[in-house]
A and B are shown apart, each in its own frame.
Chain A
Amino acid sequence: MSITHLNNPWRRLRCTLLTALLACPFAQAAPRFEDTMAQRVQACTTCHGAQGRATPDGYQPRLAGKPAGYLFHQLLNFREGRRDYGPMTSLVDPLSDAYLQEVGEYFASLDVAYPPPQAPTATPATLRRGEQLVRQGDASRAIPACQQCHGETMMGVAPDIPGLLGLPRDYLNAQLGAWRSGKRHAQAPDCMAQVAISLSADDIDALSQWLAAQAVPAHAKPMPEWPAARKMPLPCGGVSVEAAPVAGSKMGSSR
């Protein structure tokens, strides 16, 4: 691919000299073109915020620092119709697996400050319920604790399990709701669909309220790997971790 136009040293030198005299039309307002991933993914950052840090409006989620495999799988899910959001699907449609993997790795590598937590609007009882679901789950309804898979710090586990903190309440509500109603899918076996179906609308509200109200520690990152001795409570497509032997379940690897 030729980018001689701006890589031509003569032109650059001329621009530098002329900029000094405030006369070079290229080098003033617009930043110089760079052959980088940041330049390539401007189609993403218009909605997901500079460096994928999310925008204040609360719906388009943060991308920066999420595990690379998780981001890659979401891009595949959009391309292959398991997630249903037309604008994302039409963007990723013409892109290869290799490039989508690279996009995932790029955003995963960014260490960008998280937004402050959202002040909850729910009652203390609801927040307690949310925290309980996150930390203990609900054994009576076979709901595993969020922390069992998403990690004690709730920042996820590299490379495939996303964190739960630093996400807007509206986004959490919408995604859990979409999983519950069958609008969002992941690779089979779709463990999150199973979990979301067992949640009530009140459970989802409580979870979203509590999770969105938690501050993210500075430079918090996903756990680097899944703890060797631990098994997942459910088999999950796209996650290369073995699930605990539950009646009727299979090994949870489809990567």
Chain B
Amino acid sequence: MSARLKLLAFALLALGALAAAVVMLNVRGEGDLSDEIAATAAPPAGWRATDEVIARGAYLARAGNCQACHSARGGEPYAGGRAIETPFGTVFSSNLTPDAEHGLGRWSAPQFWRAMHHGRSADGRLLTPAFPYDNTTLISRADSDALYAYLRSLAPVAQAVRPHELRFPFNTQAALAVWRALYFEPREFQADASQSADWNRGAYLVQGLGHCNACHASRNALGATHGPLDLGGGLIPVHNWYAPSLADSREAGVADWDRAEIVALLKTGAVNRASGLVTASGPMGEVVLRSTQHLSDADLGAMAAYLQTLGARADANQAAAVPEAKRVKPNARGEKLYADHCAACHGERGEGVPGAYAPLAGNRAVTMPMPANLVRIVLEGGFAPDTPGHPRPFGMPPFGQTLDNEDIAALLTHVRASWGNQGSAVSALQVNRYRGTGR
């Protein structure tokens, strides 16, 4: 055998071994489940679990905010079809109603469990990780079965699933298999015996169904997070909202909040703290509206208990956020714009109005190093979610059509340097980057 042939044979062997490893990594833990799937037929159309199980599934579906992705704007709930933009192309959500042709009508409970726990469709194909199965893998079999029972109780909607529009090679099963070999393994939630039952319930909800890290964590070049435990903040790809760190008191960490304040924010979308009004904005407003406002106070309290233990206590002060050299001073152009457009609601000294308008002085959402949300809110305006606990919210006007990039940069730089705020400058280039990225 020539040296060249030897090399070729070796390369083929190595490739074969690698492929085998990828395949092995993709099916680990599925042995018994495959038997169960083979032995279990999908229940007939019209099958219903008990009302109690269905109600529990409905609650869990709210906790997972499944409907947000699995419904198109104005479309039937859970019938899928929402376009989710990713850096790899567009993913279209699937139909979760029990339609036999297009939905879950022919799925069995163990097949549904395999999707949740292993990220695999009924026919065995690998699902794209836009479906956060790195989180749903943590939920219990009983919860998966309840979700299944709830979805099977919905009216079937005959709406075809639109194929994803992903670029090569991300549109291949081979790419998904490699991605999963690198970043995914089916896991069970591990309770921490040193923590309370409450804390563990909160951890289970935050890490599992809540899939908070899908937004509140950075992603690598292949779109993978560091797993459900990382809530260190990240810019949501394509959508360009920054989901602030839940483990840092300079961003959205709540270690120094009262538990009742955290519950109020998740329950109503707003909370009046001693420092002023705090509201959920941007994508978090949607999470409150469609998910957390519907959760029980006990579960929200549990989530709060868990979130309070993330990150260090609030010992870092704002000054630590921005090095002395990068700090900016108030500017005349920004001061004038502030007086003309902002002071009527946010106050002459950025003090806000309790219950109506957030203060800008001493507000970490204003001084955070990453200015994406601040720029987006000025450009697009918006309302906090309109909930029974926080009805008829006061609105922030959109200024994207009246102020240009230079204006908004000067204004925000001024606000980030006034009334004791010590943030960094915002440039017109940064404003331009976030212009036009709205829904």
Where the two chains meet, the residues of A that have a C-beta atom closer than 8 Å to any C-beta of B are 1-6, 25-26, 29-31, 33, 35, 39-47, 79-82, 86-87, 89-96, 98-99, 102
Contacts and interface: CB of A to CB of B under 8 A. Distances in A.
B381 A26 contact: no
A5 B347 CA distance: 12
Contacts of A39: 356, 394
B53 interface: no
A99 B357 CA distance: 18
A165 B401 CA distance: 25
B339 interface: yes
B438 A87 contact: yes
B400 A94 contact: no
Given A2-B272, A91-B380, 12 more contacts: A5-B354, A26-B347, A33-B356, A40-B392, A40-B393, A43-B382, A46-B381, A87-B380, A94-B285, A94-B289, A94-B385, A98-B391
Contacts of B438: 86-87, 90
A41 B397 CA distance: 8
A15 to B, nearest CB: 13
A96 B354 contact: no
Contact of B355 (A1, A26, A89, A92): A1
Nearest to B282: A90
A151 B72 CA distance: 36
A91 B381 CA distance: 7
A92 B286 CA distance: 12
Contact of A46 (B348, B384, B399): B399
Contact of A3 (B343, B353, B401): B353
B343 A29 contact: yes
B74 interface: yes
Contacts of A87: 380, 398, 400-401, 438
Contacts of B382: 43, 90-91, 94
7 nearest A-B pairs in the assembled complex, by CB-CB distance: A43-B395, A46-B397, A80-B74, A81-B73, A81-B74, A1-B355, A94-B385
A245 B279 CA distance: 51
Given A40-B392, A42-B397, A30 B348 contact: yes
A91 B281 CA distance: 11
Query: Which secondary structure characterizes the binding site on chain B?
Result: loop
B328 interface: no
A89 B439 contact: yes
B430 to A, nearest CB: 20
Contacts of B356: 1, 3, 33, 35, 39
24 contacts: A2-B272, A3-B353, A5-B353, A31-B344, A39-B356, A42-B394, A43-B396, A46-B397, A46-B398, A80-B74, A81-B73, A82-B74, A87-B400, A90-B439, A91-B380, A91-B383, A93-B285, A94-B285, A94-B383, A94-B384, A95-B383, A96-B386, A99-B391, A102-B392
Contacts of B390: 1
B81 to A, nearest CB: 11
Given A2-B272, A2-B355, A91 B398 contact: yes
Contacts of B385: 94
Interface in B73-90: 73-74
B349 interface: yes
Interface string B285-302: 110010000000000000
Contact-size category for B: 35 or more
Nearest to A89: B439
A4 B353 CA distance: 9
Contacts of B72: 81
A45 B289 CA distance: 25
B345 interface: yes
A4 B286 CA distance: 29
B402 interface: yes
Most chain-A Cβ atoms within 10 A of its Cβ — which of B269, B289, B349, B355? B355
Contacts of A25: 348-349
Contacts of B397: 42-47
B286 A3 contact: no
Contacts of A5: 353-354
B338 to A, nearest CB: 11
Contact of B380 (A35, A41, A90): A90
Contacts of A43: 381-383, 395-398
Given A43-B381, A87-B398, A89-B439, A2 B392 contact: no
Nearest to B397: A46
Interface in B236-288: 269, 272, 285-286
Interface in B376-432: 380-386, 390-402
A4 B343 CA distance: 19
B79 to A, nearest CB: 14
Contacts of B354: 2-5
Nearest to B379: A87
Contacts of A91: 380-383, 395, 398
Contacts of A99: 386, 391-392
A153 B196 CA distance: 70
Contacts of B383: 43, 91-92, 94-95
B392 A29 contact: no
Contacts of B395: 40-44, 91
Contacts of B357: 33
Contacts of B73: 80-81, 89
A93 B286 contact: yes
Contacts of B269: 94
A43 to B, nearest CB: 3
Given A3-B354, A46-B397, A33 B345 contact: yes
A40 B272 CA distance: 18
Nearest to A86: B438
Contacts of A33: 345, 353, 356-357
A85 to B, nearest CB: 11
Contacts of A79: 74
B285 A29 contact: no
A87 B355 CA distance: 25
Contacts of B439: 86, 89-90, 93
A190 to B, nearest CB: 13
